[in-house]
Amino acid sequence: QVHLVESGGGSVQAGGSLRLSCVASRYPDGSNFMAWFRQAPGKRREAVASIFTTPGGTTNYADSVKGRFTISQDFAKNTMFLQMNSLKPEDTAMYYCATSRSWSLPWSDPQRYEHWGQGTQVTVTS
């Protein structure tokens, strides 16, 4: 089993930055996806970004965060990061880390992911 623990959430003003971390008990091998999802109250869980778990792995981003968020990983530390800049109130949500070995669904589909963290709250005030 792969256990994931998110951290780094908090409350910031619009325009500010946060860096989220996801520490894995065992970092996935290549041919896997690691991803960040978020879910605001009353809304569906949505994909934020993903990264292929190989050095220089391909990344994917939701249109709403392109140019503002950056996903990365540190294999030595078994950690994935999400650098969030120019935060907006609409970024407010619980952010979740997830990992997938499946190739049957798009990267943005939550059903693809087998392991999930418990989330870290991000609140952006205006």
pLDDT at 95 over 90: yes
- pLDDT beyond 70 at 41: yes
Percent of the chain topping pLDDT 70 = 97
| Averaged pLDDT, 19-26 | 93
Residues 6+ apart with CB under 8 A from 71: 36, 49, 50, 51, 59, 61, 80, 81, 82, 83
Calculate mean pLDDT across residues 94-109. 92
- Categorize the per-residue pLDDT at 31 as very low, low, confident or very high, splitting at 50, 70 and 90: low
Average pLDDT of the chain is 94
Pinpoint the alpha helices (H) of 1-126: none
> How does residue 32 score in pLDDT terms, banded at 50, 70 and 90?
confident
Structure token pair of residue 75 = 């294999």
Give the pLDDT score at 29: 65
Look at residues 76, 80, 112 and name the one whose alpha carbon lies nearest to residue 5.
80
Nearest-angstrom CA–CA distance, 45 and 26: 25
Residue 109's pLDDT is: 96
How far is it, in rounded angstroms, from Cα 16 to Cα 114?
Answer: 32
- In the numeric block, which tokens belong to residue 124? 């952006």
At residue 2, the pLDDT reads 84
Q: At 90, is the secondary structure helix, strand, or coil? A: helix
CB–CB of 65/78 below 8 Å?
no
